[in-house]
Amino acid sequence: MIKPVGSDELRPRFVYDPEQHHRLSREAESLPSVIVSSQAAGNAVMLGAGYFSPLDGFMNLADALSTAQSMTLTDGRFFPVPLLCLLESADAIAGATRIALRDPNVEGKPVLAVMDVTAVEQVSDDQMALMTEQVYGTSDPKHPGVETFNSQGRIAISGPIQVLNFSYFQTDFPDTFRTAVEIRHEIQERGWQKIVAFQTRNPMHRAHEELCKMAMEAVEADGVVIHMLLGQLKPGDIPAPVRDAAIRTMAELYFPPNTVMVTGYGFDMLYAGPREAVLHAYFRQNMGATHFIIGRDHAGVGDYYGPFDAQTIFDDAVPAGALAIEIFRADHTAYSKKLDRVVMMRDVPDHTKEDFILLSGTRVREMLGQGEAPPPEFSRPEVAQILMDYYQSLPQS
């Protein structure tokens, strides 16, 4: 099986030992505490689940700036984005060397993790601007990732953490949320050797389904892990429970037995385009995938990134040897009326626009909201029904 990034074994920060967990939970209630941002909570979940292995906690400012500029920490280890815990104020933990991090996304703000504080640092506007520009490729406050990153505060607390729970992800998505540790175990149990990972924050239409099958065939994979984001999205994106139902229906009806795993991870979307694509590849290697699909405008939003920037960054900026996972570079996929199947557009240079069934996201949402199913070449009817039920349940404007 493929090794985790930078190590022979995963190093999840979740406290699995029951006695230690109980002891730490009791201690945490007496520690100075702070409610962290949703983004920091998601990062803690990813650290706990082993996805960000071998990192052991939140970065100090020097490491965050280094990763923003070169995708390496100050000690030379590879990591594609700053991993910060930013606060508006650190008054509640002033002088403390051990603190509790509380979850903003769960009622009662329970303790999510315990941190051994190694630094409390003020981040300057110039430093925030540098990290923003390097990671997001823009400083436009209308970019949802830029807005979120810059709204969390300017005080960075850093240090190793011990994670006590997986926030709302394990309780709200018990059949879907899986740690990197669990996915590796299931891959071994299934006897898979070559594994394709597919990232999604949306329901999967026919083209996505066929793209997974194309990638599996091209690399002779044993199976595909459909790995959906379960955290916070931008307004207008389809909620995770609806996506989950749609994807599971598609996988059960249209994939051969023992060729697909439907799983999810707890993390807030960055919309950072190329940099987020590298982060996605990083934690897919940690969960055991040998290949990762990256298509057009992967993890992008609006017109901030070129259609294939998320592929070329692996050639232009990722340090040599940093990742062992292989990238499957996909083009836009669509149903060819000429060939009566889904194709990658680059593979059919003789086609014109009229030869494809192409629908904009806006048009699809309109159809679903009106109870009109998209053509079966675009969306499986069972998937379309789930999405129609969702859109028709929304208040009509």
Mean pLDDT, range 90-109, rounded to an integer: 97
pLDDT recorded at residue 397: 58
- For the chain, percent of residues with pLDDT exceeding 90: 89
Per-residue pLDDT band for 139 (boundaries 50, 70, 90) equals very high
Q: Answer yes or no: 202 catalytic.
A: yes
Tokens for 360, please give them.
Answer: 């904009």
Angle between helices 361-369 and 381-393 (to 10 degrees): 70
For the whole model, what pTM was predicted? Answer: 0.94
* Residue range(s) of every CATH 3.10.400.10 domain in the chain: 18-164
Q: Answer yes or no: 365 catalytic.
A: no
Task: Give the phi and the psi of residue 375 in degrees, each rounded to 5.
Answer: -60, 150
Q: Which of 373, 286, 303, 336 is nearest to 3 (CA)?
A: 286
Of the candidates 11, 201, 329, 365, the residue annotated as catalytic is 201
Per-residue pLDDT band for 103 (boundaries 50, 70, 90) equals very high
**Residues linked to residue 329 through DSSP beta bridges, in sequence order:** 294
Annotation: CATH topology of 18-164: Sulfate adenylyltransferase (3.10.400)
CATH assignment of 177-393?
Answer: 3.40.50.620
pLDDT recorded at residue 365: 83
* Residue range(s) of every CATH 3.40.50.620 domain in the chain: 177-393
Please name the residues in contact with 98: beta carbons below 8 A apart, sequence gap of 6 or more: 31, 114, 115, 116, 117
Of the candidates 11, 77, 98, 202, the residue annotated as catalytic is 202
Q: In angstroms, rounded to a whole number, what is the distance separating the alpha carbons of residues 68 and 78?
A: 11
How far the first Cα of the chain sits from its last, in Å, is 51
Mean pLDDT, range 76-83, rounded to an integer: 98
Range with lowest mean pLDDT among 101-105, 287-291, 366-370: 366-370
